[in-house]
Chains A and B, each alone.
Chain A
Amino acid sequence: MAAHEEEEGGVAAGEAKSGVGTVAGPRQAPLAAPLVEYLLRLGDDRLILGHRMSEWTGHGPILEEDIATANIALDLIGQAAQLLKLAGEVEGKGRTEDTLAYFRDGVQFRNCLLVELPKGDFGDTMVRQFLFDAHSVLLWEALAGCGHAGIAGIAAKALKEDKYHLRHSSEWVVRLGDGTEESRARVQRSLDRLWKYTAELFAADEIDDAVAALGVRVDAAGLRARWDAMVNEVLARATLTRPAEGAAQRGGRRGRHTEHLGHLLATMQSVARAHPGATW
């Protein structure tokens, strides 16, 4: 009798059950320690963007750009390696920068959506890079003086690199915007398409509050204002129109990504995952 009740009871509709096996769950999977989450966000942004940039190597519009894009990819992946290494150390579970890069699934990545979008044409790549670089330079400026020695050290070095990236990407935005009719139309379209992904760069949440308490403090509103001014200045020189603020796309910081990330990771992680435990 009891056994029979079990069988039916398991699927019986409307029958309230309590205790073990409760079906009510939290709205979101728990996050890691705030500093780990924060470092993963910084590191994953640069790893994924660096990977996208590296896709240009050997396929650029001019030879000089093959060299420049490779350089930018190298800087970004170098920054990512340092940030992920630190994330692994803070986490204290023995994960290295390589375990974090190669043995997490997409939903465990914390990068913003902007960086994972396909590289598109050269204009898409440069507009994306410009929007990101402008934010990154301001962020590193703030973090270079923050109260966490490890982050401050990485920020100081990365700031120098990203200032060069910003000069490079903003010059291209101006050239392409104020170039030919075709080029202006193309980069305006790039800008219009990418704009909805920029809000995520500024979206602060409880992780930012928690790391601020640890001395990793960024004035988000001030940063946004300076970013607006920088972007407006370059877009004006480029004779491009700043898109209106519309519905924003976000989710990357919680692992809700676009479908593109899975394909990127399938490629990036393929060799490492085919040989787990191997040394390269």
Chain B
Amino acid sequence: MTQTTVPQEDPALLAAFEARIAAGESIEPKDWMPERYRKQLTRMMAQHAHSEIVGMLPEGNWITRAPSLRRKMSLIAKVQDEAGHGLYIYCGTETLGVDRHDLFNQLLDGSAKYSSIFNYPTLSWADMGVIGWFVDGAAIVNQTVLAKASYGPYARAMVRICKEENFHKRQGFEICATLAKGTPAQKEMLQDAVNRFWWPSLMMFGPSDKDSPNSAELLKWRVKRKTNDELRQRFVNLTVPQAQAIGVTLPDPDLRYDAATKNWEFGEIDWSEFWDVVKGNGPCNVERLEARNAAHDAGRWVREAALAHAAKNARSVSAA
């Protein structure tokens, strides 16, 4: 094992790079970049891609039970979009010189991180509404800002993906609005889903700024544009009026509007729960990894066959 050392970057190159960032230029794959920049981006993009892929599971869980044909189709289409996002971002990481299969293996062996929200179970149909509303909503808040990040391929991917996430969010909110106007049982189902997903959704923005060691450098290099806490607050400010509009409550007795800051102030986040889930002890961490591994293992003979067939074709073409 060689010890990983922070590479000494050429000061002149580094200064030129930082000047470009400061001037708002975008960094492209062939441009020089500090090794730490490359590492940070790879980490972020891989985490994002993994989240799209693992995120297919909790929603996929309700495809076979969607209560109308229209809802069934829009749910399949949404999960299909997430697969597309994952594929697109995995391919984006290859511009940084990584092999996406290596990243995928890290997901399978449990060493890679993905958004902790997907380690919560989906327990009712209402979860399909609330996930679209909260989880895709939170993703949009994050990704709108990332669309202005300094690395060109990632920023452009975010522009494209964000359009679809917006659609998912509207669709999810519409499911919630329909339930909110429905029978007492439907309203109860909705409120229960809101209660379960509210706090984990706030945790999606990551630890509080004071506990987020990488933030300063990420902000300087425009890998990030806003701090976790700023983004979290923006999400809360956007979401509270939507909850009011459809008449659900949010499970936070401390939630109140502050006229001076124009912010919806919220209560204390249970960070011990967050770290627990991040460390692998969430309600579904084991199941999510098992499901991904089961699909991968069951598909091995299929991938081997496809490779063998392609090799035979290549041989017969070159022999011809």
Contacts and interface: CB of A to CB of B under 8 A. Distances in A.
A279 B185 CA distance: 12
Contact of B56 (A66, A80, A278): A66
Contact of A59 (B87, B90, B295, B303): B295
Contacts of A270: 65
A244 to B, nearest CB: 25
B265 to A, nearest CB: 35
Interface stretch (B74-82, B254-262, B266-274): B74-82
Interface stretch (A70-78, A134-142, A154-162, A216-224): A70-78
Contact of B299 (A81, A122, A175): A122
A80 to B, nearest CB: 7
A57 interface: yes
Interface string B277-320: 00000000000000100111011111111101100100000000
Contact of A271 (B67, B80, B178): B67
A235 to B, nearest CB: 15
Interface string B227-241: 000000000000000
Contact of A275 (B185, B300, B306): B185
B305 A272 contact: no
A198 interface: no
A57 B79 contact: yes
B46 interface: no
Contacts of B70: 81, 280
Interface residues of B, number: 49
Contacts of A62: 299, 302-303
Nearest to B300: A61
Nearest to A63: B87
B186 to A, nearest CB: 6
Contacts of B301: 180, 182-183, 186
Given A67-B80, A81-B70, A59 B186 contact: no
B299 A54 contact: no
B98 to A, nearest CB: 16
Q: Helix, strand, loop or mixed for chain B's interface?
A: helix
Contacts of A98: 68-69
Contact of A121 (B69, B80, B298): B298
Interface residues of A, number: 50
Given A73-B76, A186-B301, A275 B186 contact: yes
A271 B305 contact: no
Contact of B304 (A70, A182, A268, A271): A182
A147 interface: no
A58 interface: yes
Contact of A278 (B84, B183, B309): B183
Interface in A218-275: 267-268, 270-272, 275
Nearest to A75: B73
B125 interface: yes
A275 B178 CA distance: 14
A222 to B, nearest CB: 33
A121 B65 CA distance: 21
B65 A70 contact: no
A74 B73 contact: yes
Contacts of B295: 58-61
8 contacts: A54-B64, A58-B79, A61-B296, A61-B300, A84-B69, A178-B312, A180-B305, A267-B64
Given A63-B83, A81-B69, A98-B68, 19 more contacts: A55-B63, A57-B56, A57-B60, A61-B298, A61-B299, A66-B83, A73-B76, A74-B80, A77-B72, A78-B73, A84-B69, A123-B302, A174-B309, A180-B304, A182-B301, A183-B304, A183-B308, A280-B67, A280-B71
Closest 9 CB pairs of A and B: A61-B299, A179-B305, A183-B305, A70-B80, A58-B60, A58-B56, A61-B302, A271-B67, A272-B67
